[in-house]
Amino acid sequence: MLGLAASAPFSQRDASSPYLRPPDMRTYVRVCRRTCEKDGEDTLALADRSRIEWTEATWNPVTGCHQVSPGCAHCYAKTFAERWRGVPGHPYEQGFDLRLWPDRLEQPLRWTRSRMIFVNSMSDLFHEGIPDDYVAQVFDVMRQARQHTFQILTKRHERLAAMAPDLPWPENVWIGVSIENRRFVHRADYLRMVPAAIRFISAEPLLGPLRGLDLTDIHWLIAGGESGPGHRQMKIEWVHELRDRCGEEQIAFFFKQWGGRTAKIGGRELDGRTWSEMPDRPALAVA
């Protein structure tokens, strides 16, 4: 069994790594009450009709994060948030610094129509700066909002596995880890420890072949290339390997994008067709 030691404090980590938070980076853990009202909902917390192909909506009870691995280098969320740093009164006035939004916690309970909701598209729910009790509150809302399906994606695999035994895992809560190259295939080993109905892997941005990746007890795999300025090119053979393995192991495969200067420029087709497979969703409760 894998050891579940907590991540080392920043002061004890290798300061030469470009993917760790600088020691002077400010972390804002604020109680934020400002909202942007539209049709009775906080549109900064919930975004219906998400442009992310594998979900329908987003919910951000936390915003902000910091880089932990190479896949973070061109983070779309950070790029967006940092545009607004220093703009008085803007939700991202502090840029991409970590920020809690307690007023957003109950927003999914107000959506009665069933949605597939990506949790914390602008953060990582298992970021080490988020208190355990706040993570528990997010899970409690998901447990209550059984009309929705919630998708959580993290790069903090160790904290996920350490907290998992103390969290509720109803069938409407899916959990995934990001794996961008073979250095991080071990994240799947920690994911397997979580008693979720659906466990998934996001291989986006895919930066290399995922040799050594064990797909046992994984239900869904998303693959995609990086987009934006300075994007790193994805090779077709890396995608073919993942798609073929998913077919052999009866795992749903979703090809999100080729990437490029913009997210949509390369399209979504792989070998002449789109791949939009999803795992079977359990019947959801009616609100």
β-pair type (220-224, 252-257): parallel
- Residue-wise pLDDT for 258-271, tens only, equals 998 877 888 999 99
For residue 204, is it within any domain?
Answer: yes
- Residue-wise pLDDT for 208-246, tens only, equals 999 999 999 999 999 999 988 888 999 999 999 999 999
Burial of 62 (0-12, 13-18, 19+ CB in 10 A): buried
Domain that holds residue 153: 48-59+110-257
For residue 93, is it within any domain?
Answer: no
Q: Percent of the chain having pLDDT more than 90?
A: 71
For residue 137, is it within any domain?
Answer: yes
What confidence tier does 32 reach under pLDDT thresholds 50, 70, 90? Answer: very low
Tokens 């072949």 identify what position? Answer: 209
Residue 100 has pLDDT above 80, yes or no: yes
- Determine the pLDDT at residue 73: 86
What's the chain's Rg over C-alpha atoms? Answer: 18
For residue 30, is it within any domain?
Answer: no
The CATH number of whichever domain residue 159 belongs to comes to 3.80.30
For residue 81, is it within any domain?
Answer: no
- Determine the pLDDT at residue 50: 82
For residue 149, is it within any domain?
Answer: yes
C-alpha distances (whole Å) from 146 to each of 109, 111, 173 are 9, 11, 9
pTM of this structure: 0.82
Average pLDDT, the chain: 85
For residue 179, is it within any domain?
Answer: yes
Residue 41 has pLDDT above 60, yes or no: no
- As a whole number, mean pLDDT of residues 100-112 equals 96
Residue 46 is inside which H or E element, if any? strand 46-48
Domain count, the chain: 1
